[in-house]
Amino acid sequence: MSGTISLKIEFGGGLELLFSNQRSHRVTIPALVPAASSSSTSSSSTAQTAQDEAGAEKKKPADLAYLIFWLRDNLLKEREELFIENGTVRPGILVLVNDADWELEGEGEYQLKDGDEIVFISTLHGG
Amino acid sequence: MPPRTCALCNDARAILKRPKTGQTICKDCFFYVFETEVHNTITEAQLFKRGDRVAIGASGGKDSTVLAHVMKTLNERYDYGLELFLLSIDEGITGYRDDSLETVKRNQEQYDMPLKILSYDELYGWTMDAIVSQVGKKNNCTFCGVFRRQALDRGAAILNVDHIVTGHNADDIAETVLMNIMRGDIARLGRCTSICTQGEDTIKRSKPFKYAYEKEIVMYAYFKKLDYFSTECIYSPDAYRGHARAFLKDLEAARPSAIIDIIHSGEAFEIKEDVKATQKLQQTCIRCGYMSSNELCKACTLLEGLERGMAQAAVTDRARKKLDAVGPTPDNLRQIPMFKPPSSVQSSTHTTAAVGT
């Protein structure tokens, strides 16, 4: 099993404007990530290893919650408050995992698999 | 988590959890349930009659695009016998409206409906860009909303339609209820949950998506791959509605049925008799003939304020008195042309049965 996961990310409903005005992205993230969920800005796992707390560093499979922070740190170009709020996506942004509502997959706790397609659609605009 | 099966057909993979009911359903069941609920809203409220000419207020955004699609689908599926039109208003907001109008033109081809575009510039002589440069970024939504309302009626009169439908969804109506409570606007609070509004001299206006959640509209558009324009109006970030919307979104996250429940509360409001007595009666504007609570309708008042270089003065009643104190209205100001309702509004009441009965 390789140490990374390849994902296809799509942004819609105007969100693409925050991500270099690009709707489709292909990203690669580590398969195992630090278990302590943090709201600090550390992005790569090597930086986290250097700062880890006393005792063994716990790892968990990468999940959607981690991906959201990863996107903020690596792809988001501006106005992070329009994407992330209180450790998750801002209310009003829909998340689809392989064409299914993320609420069916456990939201942030869904464990990512290689080749997954994640779609973020904003509903926060005029109709 | 194991893949779930649709709660309705027990066959296909579930792709959505409905906020309204908590059901997990598949794509095809979702389409059917969504469309059927709108159909039920239409028939229960007896909105249309066979042969009605209906203008769909189309902005190119998600709600109006889905509305055009669903109206066309239901009209064919249940044989409503309606003639459908697209009506679009160009407020003159560079970078926002001009792009979304391109989407409406594409919608016209995709849904094969006649399209009419009416602009603030041709009707009032002022684009929103010009208005904002005079008024600033606060209260500019007041101008836009008031002008748009009249513009839709005038466009509908030109098309000679019986009915206007707009894409207002459940979230919008819940936000409006909250806003009216927060601002103490009793008159509006009593009216804002009506699915169909009509004055004596104005065209019927309905909201078939009154009970449709914004989330479901977006999901519908996504799965049906409908073409829509999705950017926030550049002037909206300072709008008061933003507060109500943020609050509502947080409420929805905690308890998804909150949206429908707020609408239900709004529908149940009844205004006390002694408060009702203080509400103004409806009359017609002495300048342009449109419906009004005062001698001059809001649009004429706002336009006069703009023309005389005192735009802020026209927004509230108190400020209006200040405007009058400055002096009488000069004779040579630009005015809105006289409003003539379409023949359907002037004729006597219809007796044919409503669609769906």
Select the residue of B4, B218, B250 nearest A123 (Cβ to Cβ). B218
Q: Which residue in the set A13, A99, A100 is minimally distant from B218, CB to CB? A: A13
Q: Which pLDDT tens digits describe chain B residue by residue (357 residues)?
A: 556 899 999 999 999 999 888 899 999 999 999 999 999 999 999 999 999 999 999 988 999 999 999 999 999 999 999 999 999 999 888 877 777 888 999 999 999 999 999 998 988 888 888 888 888 877 788 888 888 888 998 889 889 998 999 999 999 999 999 999 998 888 888 888 988 887 666 788 999 999 999 999 999 999 999 988 887 777 777 778 888 988 999 899 889 999 999 999 999 988 888 877 777 777 888 888 887 888 888 888 888 888 888 776 667 766 667 667 777 777 777 778 777 777 766 543 444 456 655
- Find the CB nearest B24 among A12, A14, A104: A104
Contact yes or no for B230 and A91 at CB 8 A: no
Instruction: Provide, as residue numbers in chain A, all residues whose Cβ is less than 8 Å from the Cβ of B232.
Output: 14, 124-126
> Nearest Cβ partner of B64 from A17, A106, A127?
A127
Torsion of CA B13, B17, B18, B21, to 10 degrees: 100
Q: How far apart are the first and last CA of chain A?
A: 45
Chain pair A-B, CB pairs under 8 angstroms: 72
Measured between CA atoms, how close is B203 to chain A, in angstroms?
A: 22
- Per-residue pLDDT of A99-113, as tens digits, reads 999 999 999 999 999
CB contact under 8 A, A104 and B252: no
DSSP string covering B80-119: --PEEEEEEEE---TTTHHHHHHHHHHHHHHHT--EEEEE
Instruction: Show which residues on chain A lie within 8 Å of chain B, measured between beta carbons.
Output: 12-14, 17, 91-92, 94, 96, 99-101, 103-106, 110, 119, 121-127
pLDDT exceeds 70 at position A25: yes
B153 reaches A (C-beta below 8 A): no
Q: Is the CB of residue B249 less than 8 Å away from at least one CB of chain A?
A: yes
Q: Cβ atoms within 10 A of the Cβ of B112, count?
A: 9
Closest residue of chain A to B16, computed from CA coordinates:
A101
Strands B83-90 and B115-119: parallel
Question: What is the per-residue pLDDT for B95?
Answer: 77
Which residues face B173 on adjacent strands? none
Total count of residues recorded for chain B: 357
Least Cα separation, residue A103 to chain B (angstroms)? 7
Nearest chain B residue to A112 by CA distance is: B1
| Cβ within 8 Å of A, B 301-320 | none
Instruction: Specify whether the CB–CB gap between B216 and B25 falls below 8 A.
Output: no
A105 vs B contacts (CB less than 8 Å):
1
Give pLDDT tens digits for A40-98.
444 444 544 444 444 457 889 999 999 999 999 999 988 888 899 888 998 889 999 99
Which among B82, B86, B83, B122 has a CA at the least distance from the CA of B105? B86
Bridge partner residues of A119 (DSSP): A10, A96
CB-based contacts of B245, cutoff 8 Å, min separation 6? A92, A124, B171, B175
CB contact under 8 A, B236 and A126: yes
Helix residue ranges per DSSP H, chain B: 27-44, 62-77, 97-111, 120-124, 128-135, 140-159, 170-183, 186-191, 214-223, 241-254, 258-268, 273-276, 298-307, 317-326, 343-346
Distance from B217 to chain A by nearest Cα, in Å?
9
Closest-CA residue of B relative to A98 is B15
CA B221 to chain centre: 19
| List of chain B residues whose C-beta atoms are within 8 Å of the C-beta of residue A123 | 62, 214-215, 218
CA distance linking residue A97 with residue A119, whole number of Å: 7
Q: Indicate whether A11 pLDDT > 70.
A: yes
The contacts of residue B207 (CB under 8 Å, 6+ apart) are B165, B166, B167, B168, B173, B195, B196
Strands B163-165 and B204-206, by their bridges, are parallel
In the three-class reduction of DSSP (H, G, I as helix; E, B as strand; rest coil), residue A71 is classed as helix
DSSP-assigned letter for residue A111: B
From B4, B61, B252, residue closest to A91, measured CB to CB: B252
The ipTM of this complex is 0.81
Angle CA(A103)–CA(B254)–CA(B21) in degrees, nearest 5? Answer: 60
Residue B290, min C-alpha distance to chain A (Å) = 26
Interface test with B, best of A88, A96, A122, A125 (most B CBs within 10 A): A125
